[in-house]
Amino acid sequence: MSTTLWLIRHGETEWTISGQHTGRTDIALTENGRKQALSLKSRLEHQNFDQVFTSPLQRAHETCVLAGLGEQAQIEPDLMEWNYGVYEGLTTPEILKAEPDWSLWTFDVENGETAAQVQKRVSGLLERLTAQGGTIALFAHGHILRSLIGVWIHNDVRLGENLALDTASVSVLDVHRGARVLRRLNA
């Protein structure tokens, strides 16, 4: 059975507004973020999902519930956002003051995850999902979803550095003529 993955980023939070790296900090959606999540309902209601998975963090789980798929959802720990370690809560400009050449995708993160560790986590998740097959919705976070795309289409988590995902966006990974493809990005 083939696999199609719908990647849905959570709605807006206070830290997505400020640009702070929000890895494992479990913060809620803003009122606008809840509206964004509700708007997903009409975009997803005509799609039949064989399975729905969500990060255990409340911003992703609440987005899933407001989008109308909460009853079908299962918690998937591997959908947690990157562990930003010492950079948690900081903005990129703040980090660049201390580390001018810093990039999440290429630097080791003190007390956090490296790209290699995320690659291993995401690869294992994709192996499990493709073994199950079907059309699967994944509610999660910006960097981990970008990582999933990178591993899906090029087996390299670092490709995610060249992608952008807005809050409450939908991207679709699919297979076309035997090749893994990015069918939709940031819709």
Q: What are the catalytic residues?
A: 10, 81
* ∠ Cα 130 26 53 (to 5°): 20
- The 3 state secondary structure assigned to 46-94 is CCCCCEEEECCCHHHHHHHHHCCCHHHEEECHHHCCCCCHHHCCCEHHH
Copy the structure tokens of residue 18: 């400020």
What is the C-alpha separation between 132 and 117, in angstroms, rounded? Answer: 23
- Residues contacting 133, CB < 8 A, separation 6+: 1, 2, 3, 50
